Chains A and B, each alone.
Chain A
Amino acid sequence: MSLAEIEAYVEEELAPQGGLWRDAWRRLRRNPGALVGFGLVGLFVFIAIFAPVISPYDPRAQNLLLVAHGCCQGPTWAHPLGADQLGRDELSRIFYGARFSLVIGVVSVSVGLSIGLVLGSIAGYLGGVADTVIMRTMDVMLSIPGLLLAIGIVAALGPGLWQIMIAVGTTNVPIFARLLRGSILSQKENDFVLAARSVGVPRRSILVSHILPNAISPVIVQGTLALATAIIDVAGLGFLGLGPQDPGTPEWGTMLTQVDRYLQSAPFLAIVPGVAIVISVLGFNLIGDGLREALDPKLRGRA
């Protein structure tokens, strides 16, 4: 060890520990996979937010002249990713599609997360009858394959964007509830909980300020991964024709399903939204993986 390294080591070890989160963040920064993930997701979020600014065309503006000689025109300088079967600019549609995917992903995961969080904490902390009732219900929901359950819910609510978000969110509820319950159960037996209880801290405060912050990390990891699943599920539901009723909506899954006729004549129309889905999902997955490693207590302290 050189002097500088020793100094750094001492500084790091003796400096007041930044707690779980700062620690995790430090390790996350050193994980190249996670960094790539942040890059991809950052790009995705940037495109989603600034879609109106960076899109060269209105994503719904048709130009039938472009398809007058057969579908469909490939990439040109005017249309870097080509034009689709109605002569709409593919690049602008991909940009606007990022908005839909991001909003749908975030909203549906939030729906699943918030309901799952409440149910999981109640089941884990109260135990007893509440636990049994909630967890058996969750088991029933888990016994139905996720996408199938989502299709069922959309079929009942009718096709549309909001319905898809609710459906995908609902399928996420049992996953979060189970995860949090298990995590709370293991935290509940810790000494600091016993200590808090012995000095008379109310039960709700124990749960909210002592147990939850320690039990939440696996849920965060799952949340990131669920974002990726949600994007795929939403694209899948769109592909099955359960997406937005307005066929002009630039949603990636819907875009894929509309071009199956052109696989031979214009394969780029299917490849482009497919690649967009892959890249955004990959980004969230890489972040999720990095977070899992960073938050793993067994790996704590190791760089």
Chain B
Amino acid sequence: MKKGRLLVLAAALAGCALLAVSAASAGGSHRSVSDTLVFGTAADPVILDGPLVSDGESLRPINQIFEGLVGLKPGTTQVVPLLATSWQANKTGLQWTFKLRQGVLFQDGTPFNAAAVCFNFNRWYNFPGPLQNQGVSYYWNTVFGDFAHPAQGNPGPGQGLYKGCKPVGKYTVILSLNRPSSSFLGALSLTNFGMASPTALVKYKADAGTVDNNGVFHPAGTFGTQHPIGTGPYMLQSWTVGDKLVLVRNPHYWGTPAKLARIIFKPISDNAARLQALQTGEIQGYDLVDPADVPTIQKTSSLKLLSRPAFNIGYVGINQSYKPFDNVLVREALAYGLDRKSVVDSFYAGRGQVADQFLPTSLVGYATKGVPQYPYDPAKAKQLLQQAGLTLPVPVDFWYPTNVSRPYMPNPQQNAEAFGASLNNSGFKVTFHSAPWRPDYLSSVQAGKAEVFLLGWTGDFGDPADFLNIHFGAQGTEFGFNNPSLFSLLTKADEEPNLEKRAALYQQASVEVMKFLPVVPYVHSSPALAFQKNVDGYQPSPVSLEPFSTVYFGK
């Protein structure tokens, strides 16, 4: 008996590969013209309440249900009117007046007006203690920072960006800030700051609940699970966790009504399974296409591939609290020792470009002149290490995450192995460490346990502050350096209201970052989405959040 079981086990190991292949090729091109689109997602949303989430899977449906004062022009990071039709800042940049769109109703019939806007801002500003947790209200924390009743050492009134909200008449609102900020308007376009119906927020107890030790919110009310009510073109019909989330067209939408009557988000966590579901016609589109699958999709005539503009950065992080990485010569040696071009050319299926600085090319502040270049040069790396007075090889602890695929690093281990080999050629001696992405890896890196590590960032809105200030604007445990001149340069750049001067300051900062090398950027990648060929009207966005109201079935 024992032997039989062994053989079956062994055969299964090889057989599973064959099965997967044959199942894939058996998939037909089942197609039906309908008014429902099924979209494959990587996971369920956490909760359908914008200010309480920071992950893309939650923001995707929230973006269909809720709208903010301002939005982004589809396919760009340009701020355009949404629920506010126009706005103006006063001379000091501390008071912003917004004119609101008239005749808009929330999905429950509540009228949208100045009082509703201030109700939302007051809700965020007055979050009870548990909801002030960084893990819960991440974006309010990073953008505005302050709370009316701060808990756990959070900044209080006057210590952050937000000061107050005042309705003037029925359709005008004045937002006051504690200091001028040029990234403020861009931040307002975040899906997190969408306007929710005040009636529903109260009725369904949006803020009631507890927060556990891992920073996860467990709601007591039903606002974020069953009754998320905004002004958007779609409204929630039903949500069965692990099965599907169904959105239906909002018949009373103020703008152009949605083209399809229903959108269904179906969570399929496995990448290969999502591709198979698309091939069999079970879903009509999915996000987070693995570069390894790109050729397969391109070869299938019934499928098509859409690309988002490259608006992210993959980098090799360095923690300067570990010697000898406090020495800039060693960091330069590391930069020369990373074969960035080969990694980008080989592992991103033609969808990546080698990054020579931290900012994506499309962003204000991208420097075109004076950026120091670090081409792969093992001899130069060794020479720099010797110049720093070190004996070769120099040991490096290199960290990478497992069980994860990000647009900027589809397969972290592969990147790590290739970088490891090129560093070993360049006078370093690499030891690998790996940890699961969540919760171990991110918390280890953020707590400063990793010497050299793989990480990246995808932009939220079209402002360089979202890249540079967030990473290098203050001393932190992750990178472990203190560079007051860089900190003050970045603060100055964010406060500068004049766009041209601001761009110049950020260009200067971008060059400074590449000279100081707190990280070695290596890739801007263009994330891909896959659809059935007959799906039209989907406009990929750099910030990875697209409206579904323009999507329809063509021929």
Seen from chain A, the residues whose Cβ lies within 8 Å of a Cβ on chain B are 60, 62, 64-65, 67-68, 70-71, 85-87, 225, 228-229, 232, 235, 239, 241, 245-248, 256, 258, 260-265, 267, 270-271, 274-275, 277-278, 281-282, 285, 288-289
Cβ-based interface call for B411 (8 A): yes
Closest chain-B Cβ to A292's Cβ sits at a distance in Å of 10
Contact A264 B17 (CB under 8 A): no
Closest chain-B Cβ to A276's Cβ sits at a distance in Å of 9
User: Using Cβ atoms and an 8 Å threshold, which residues of chain B touch A260?
Assistant: 272
Cα–Cα distance between A65 and B418 once the two chains are bound (Å): 12
Listed residue (B6, B7, B349, B411) with the most chain A CB atoms within 10 angstroms of its CB: B6
Contact B18 A64 (CB under 8 A): no
Cα–Cα distance between A264 and B19 once the two chains are bound (Å): 10
Cα–Cα distance between A239 and B14 once the two chains are bound (Å): 13
Listed residue (B296, B402, B421) with the most chain A CB atoms within 10 angstroms of its CB: B421
Decide: A282 near B292, CB < 8 A? Known: A241-B402, A261-B272: no
Decide: A248 near B420, CB < 8 A? Known: A85-B414, A264-B272: yes
User: Using Cβ atoms and an 8 Å threshold, which residues of chain A touch B434?
Assistant: 245, 247
Closest chain-B Cβ to A142's Cβ sits at a distance in Å of 14
Contact A67 B346 (CB under 8 A): yes
Cα–Cα distance between A112 and B429 once the two chains are bound (Å): 36
- Pull 5 A–B residue pairs with CB atoms less than 8 Å apart, ordered by A: A60-B421, A67-B347, A232-B6, A232-B10, A277-B10
Interface of chain B, main secondary structure: helix
Contact B417 A281 (CB under 8 A): no
Contact A265 B292 (CB under 8 A): yes
Contact B17 A285 (CB under 8 A): no
Decide: A228 near B6, CB < 8 A? Known: A64-B418, A265-B293: yes
Q: Which residue of A lies closest to B292 (CB)?
A: A261
Contact A274 B13 (CB under 8 A): yes
Cα–Cα distance between A93 and B414 once the two chains are bound (Å): 16
Decide: A264 near B6, CB < 8 A? Known: A86-B414, A247-B432, A256-B13: no
CB-CB nearest 8 A-B residue pairs: A274-B14, A270-B17, A64-B342, A64-B346, A263-B20, A278-B10, A67-B346, A281-B10
Cβ-based interface call for B295 (8 A): yes
User: Using Cβ atoms and an 8 Å threshold, which residues of chain B touch A228?
Assistant: 6
Contact B17 A70 (CB under 8 A): no
Cβ-based interface call for B9 (8 A): yes
Interface hits, B1-51 → A, CB 8 Å: 2-3, 6-7, 9-11, 13-18, 20-21, 24
Cα–Cα distance between A247 and B15 once the two chains are bound (Å): 24
Decide: A68 near B413, CB < 8 A? Known: A265-B296, A275-B14: no
Cβ-based interface call for B343 (8 A): yes
User: Using Cβ atoms and an 8 Å threshold, which residues of chain B touch A67?
Assistant: 346-347
Listed residue (B3, B418, B434) with the most chain A CB atoms within 10 angstroms of its CB: B3
CB contacts between A and B, total, < 8 Å: 111
Decide: A86 near B21, CB < 8 A? Known: A68-B346, A264-B296, A265-B295: no
Contact B7 A264 (CB under 8 A): no
Cβ-based interface call for B59 (8 A): no
Cα–Cα distance between A282 and B8 once the two chains are bound (Å): 11
Cβ-based interface call for B108 (8 A): no
Listed residue (B20, B275, B294, B346) with the most chain A CB atoms within 10 angstroms of its CB: B346
User: Using Cβ atoms and an 8 Å threshold, which residues of chain A touch B21?
Assistant: 263-264, 267
User: Using Cβ atoms and an 8 Å threshold, which residues of chain A touch B349?
Assistant: 70
Q: Which residue of B lies closest to A244 (CB)?
A: B432
Cβ-based interface call for B72 (8 A): no
Known contacts A70-B295, A71-B292; 4 additional CB pairs below 8 A are A68-B345, A70-B349, A225-B2, A239-B13
Cβ-based interface call for B271 (8 A): yes
Decide: A278 near B347, CB < 8 A? Known: A232-B6, A260-B272, A270-B17: no
Binary contact track B286-297/A, C-beta < 8 Å → 1, others 0: 000010111110
Q: Which residue in B6, B17, B416 is a CB contact (below 8 Å) of A263? A: B17
Decide: A258 near B413, CB < 8 A? Known: A232-B10, A248-B420, A263-B17: yes
Closest chain-B Cβ to A212's Cβ sits at a distance in Å of 24
Cα–Cα distance between A265 and B291 once the two chains are bound (Å): 11
Contact B272 A62 (CB under 8 A): no
Q: Which residue in B10, B292, B343 is a CB contact (below 8 Å) of A262? A: B292
Interface hits, B325-354 → A, CB 8 Å: 339, 342-343, 345-347, 349
Contact B413 A247 (CB under 8 A): yes
Decide: A278 near B13, CB < 8 A? Known: A264-B272, A285-B3: yes
Cα–Cα distance between A45 and B400 once the two chains are bound (Å): 35
Closest chain-B Cβ to A67's Cβ sits at a distance in Å of 5
Contact B13 A235 (CB under 8 A): yes
User: Using Cβ atoms and an 8 Å threshold, which residues of chain B touch A85?
Assistant: 411, 414
Contact B3 A225 (CB under 8 A): yes
Decide: A261 near B14, CB < 8 A? Known: A247-B417, A285-B6: no
User: Using Cβ atoms and an 8 Å threshold, which residues of chain A touch B24?
Assistant: 264
Q: Which residue of B lies closest to A175 (CB)?
A: B2
User: Using Cβ atoms and an 8 Å threshold, which residues of chain B touch A258?
Assistant: 413
User: Using Cβ atoms and an 8 Å threshold, which residues of chain B touch A71?
Assistant: 292
Cα–Cα distance between A265 and B300 once the two chains are bound (Å): 13
Cα–Cα distance between A229 and B3 once the two chains are bound (Å): 9
Cα–Cα distance between A235 and B6 once the two chains are bound (Å): 13
User: Using Cβ atoms and an 8 Å threshold, which residues of chain A touch B339?
Assistant: 64
Cα–Cα distance between A263 and B272 once the two chains are bound (Å): 8
Cα–Cα distance between A262 and B20 once the two chains are bound (Å): 11
Cα–Cα distance between A175 and B455 once the two chains are bound (Å): 46
Contact B18 A267 (CB under 8 A): yes
Cα–Cα distance between A147 and B272 once the two chains are bound (Å): 27
Contact B421 A62 (CB under 8 A): yes
Closest chain-B Cβ to A72's Cβ sits at a distance in Å of 9
Contact B18 A261 (CB under 8 A): no
Closest chain-A Cβ to B424's Cβ sits at a distance in Å of 10
Contact B275 A264 (CB under 8 A): yes
Cα–Cα distance between A136 and B347 once the two chains are bound (Å): 54
Closest chain-B Cβ to A214's Cβ sits at a distance in Å of 23
Closest chain-B Cβ to A54's Cβ sits at a distance in Å of 23
Contact A281 B345 (CB under 8 A): no
Contact B411 A261 (CB under 8 A): yes
Binary contact track B401-421/A, C-beta < 8 Å → 1, others 0: 010000000010110111011
Decide: A264 near B293, CB < 8 A? Known: A68-B346, A232-B9: yes
Cα–Cα distance between A71 and B294 once the two chains are bound (Å): 10
Q: Which residue in A248, A274, A278, A285 is a CB contact (below 8 Å) of B417? A: A248
User: Using Cβ atoms and an 8 Å threshold, which residues of chain B touch A65?
Assistant: 342, 346
Interface hits, B423-477 → A, CB 8 Å: 432-434
Contact A229 B6 (CB under 8 A): yes
Closest chain-A Cβ to B471's Cβ sits at a distance in Å of 27
Decide: A285 near B7, CB < 8 A? Known: A241-B402, A275-B14: yes
Closest chain-A Cβ to B23's Cβ sits at a distance in Å of 10
User: Using Cβ atoms and an 8 Å threshold, which residues of chain A touch B272?
Assistant: 260-261, 263-264
Contact A281 B7 (CB under 8 A): yes
Cα–Cα distance between A260 and B345 once the two chains are bound (Å): 21
